[in-house]
Structure formats: structure tokens, C-alpha cells
Structure 1
Amino acid sequence: MRILLALTAAIAAIALPAAAAPEASGNLKVTVAGRDTIVLTPAEVKALPRGRTTIQVKGQPVVYEGAVLHDALLKAGVISGERLMGRYLNQIVILRAADGFTSILSLAETDPVYRANPVILADTVNGQGLDAREGPYRVVVDGDLRLSRSPRAVVSIEVRPAF
């Protein structure tokens, strides 16, 4: 029994740091169906065009800033703009957080041809970097009245057909 317990502890000590590595590094995995998966480093995310949104949380304004999600998806090869029609409108964007929370947007919701308000891949809130609970990235849907579709600690994004 002690051997089994020691073996379990050893496996956990090895596996847990490896599982936390993508989140701790700030790298963001972006997968588009039919394309290669890319990994964006924090520097690459910072270099993308930036957006800003202000939302009300408990009656107080909260300002999120970060890369425009649409531009991150373009780096991964999504169809966008005037070409986003027909079967491509059937695509969804799956946002996965480190804690297992998943949120889904339609691809059109991330495209400026279809939506005036951007979806932000936020890395700051009220001018400060996101804390460990929210960061390294939080997706914020500008125009939403609540943060219900805004996962914290986003580690991967997948674009694929809805059905």
C-alpha cells in the first residue's frame, strides 16, 4: 500500500507541473479545423492589434484591454471578412479555460464585418495585468452586459464546424 501511495505521489509531482505549463508560460494554443495548430507566445499576443472595452461589474466600470480575438484567429488561418459566408458561418469558437470552463461564440461574433463591438483577448484590467485567477488571458465580449461568456485563464481556442 505504501508503494502505491509513493508511486501516486511521484506521478502527481511530475504530471501537475507539466499540466500547468501552458497556463504558466502564457502561451495560447489556437486550433482551426483543417489548418495547423499554432501557439501564440505572450509577445505575439501583445503585438496583435489591441482593443478596449468597459463593462459594469456590481455598478462599477471595469476596463479590459488586450488583443482583438479576431486578429489572433486570423493568425491561425480562419476565413473572415467578406469571405465569411455559407458553410463558414456554421463555425464556432470554443474558448477553454484552465479550470475546465468552456464558452462558445459563433465565428461571426468575432468578425468585424458582422459585429461592431470587438471580442477582446484581455491581458489587463483597469490598467493592471490580470491576476493569477483571471490571467494570463480573459476573453471579454464587448457589448455583453455580463461576463457570463467571458472565460478567465484562457489556455486554448478552437474553431470548428458547429455540426
Structure 2
Amino acid sequence: MRKLLALALVTATLIATPVLAQDLKVTVQGRDSVVLTPAEIRALPRARATITVKGASVVYEGAVLHEALLKAGVVAGERLMGRYLNQIVVLRAADGFASILSIAETDPVYRANPVILADTVNGQPLDAREGPYRVVVDGDLRPSRSPRAVVSVEVRPGF
């Protein structure tokens, strides 16, 4: 019984422990990949995004994903049209989960609500289950497109 209790305590502690930030690989097809360090990500413009999780509003804060994509050389803003508008953003999580957004959903010229690379939730660092980064799509009614533990971001043609 004591061993089980000790194991439960250790597990609970690990889950609640903030995870250390790590580098993030951002790739735009046809260009070199960039690896953004935690310091570079923290230096990017930041925003807040609110999503509803299990009936409660949760506020995430972090770097604007669009700014990270610009560091990797993505075509954006008024130039985002034609074949460039056909691109998708693939967000890959450590557990193999992947979420896909259109490139327009990440660009402020096309979308008012930000998509962020969150590193905090309700003012606290993300824990080991969610972090070090979670992409959050502000305004989504469900968190289905907000992968946890994001390890890479890839921009490529959609079809």
C-alpha cells in the first residue's frame, strides 16, 4: 500500500511539474529549416488565446505562431495569395499527434484571432503533460486543433 501511495505521489508531482523549454524546429518546404531556441521564442511578440476545456475557459499565453513562421521564411501578409495560399501548417506533437491549419489561419491579414505557441496557461508555465509548447487557436470552440507538447512545425503545399 505504501509503495502504491509513493508511486502515485511521484506521478502526480511529475505531471504538475513545469517542463523545461526546448528548441522548436520550424520548416518551410523549399527553404532551410530553422531551430528556434527558447530565448528566441520568448523574444517573439506574444498574445493570449482562450479556449474552453471541459466547460471552463482557459487562458494561454505565448509567442504568436505567425512570427515564428516568419523567422523560417514563410510568405505572408499581402503577398500570401495564389500558390502560397495553398499551403498548410502541420503541427507535430511528441506523442505523434498532428494537427493541420491552413496558412491563412495563422496570418493576421486573414484572421483576427491569433494562433499562439503557448508556454503558459492561466499565468503558470505549462506542465509536462502539455509543454513545453502548445499551439492554441484562439476562438476555437473545442481544443481539438490545439496539440500539446509540440516538437515541430512544418509549412508545405496542401495539395
For the criterion TM > 0.5, the same-fold answer is: yes
Kept in 1: contact 2:114–2:137 (CA 8 A): yes
Stretches of 4+ aligned residues off by more than 6 angstroms: none
Which structure would you say has the larger Rg?
1
**Equivalent residue for 1:83?**
79
Report the AA paired with residue 125 of structure 2: G
**Equivalent residue for 2:88?**
92
**Equivalent residue for 2:63?**
67
Give the whole-Å Cα distance in 2 for the aligned partners of 1:25 and 1:72. Answer: 16
Give the whole-Å Cα distance in 2 for the aligned partners of 1:142 and 1:124. Answer: 14
**Alignment TM-score, normalising by the size of structure 2:** 0.86
Kept in 1: contact 2:52–2:143 (CA 8 A): no
Give the whole-Å Cα distance in 1 for the aligned partners of 2:86 and 2:57. Answer: 34
Matched, 1:135 2:128: no
Q: String of CA shifts for 1:74-124, please: whole Å, max 9, x gaps.
A: 000000000000000110000000000000000000000000001010000
Alignment coverage as a number of residue pairs: 141
Matched, 1:103 2:99: yes
**Alignment TM-score, normalising by the size of structure 1:** 0.84
Gaps of 5+ in 1: 1-22
Instruction: Pick 1 or 2: higher relative contact order, CA cutoff 8 A, min separation 6.
Output: 2
Give the whole-Å Cα distance in 2 for the aligned partners of 1:95 and 1:119. Answer: 12
Report the AA paired with residue 73 of structure 2: G
Report the AA paired with residue 88 of structure 1: Y
1:8-157 to structure 2, matched below 5 A, reads 26-157=22-153
Tell me the secondary structure at the aligned position of residue 148 of structure 1. helix
Give the whole-Å Cα distance in 1 for the aligned partners of 2:101 and 2:27. Answer: 15
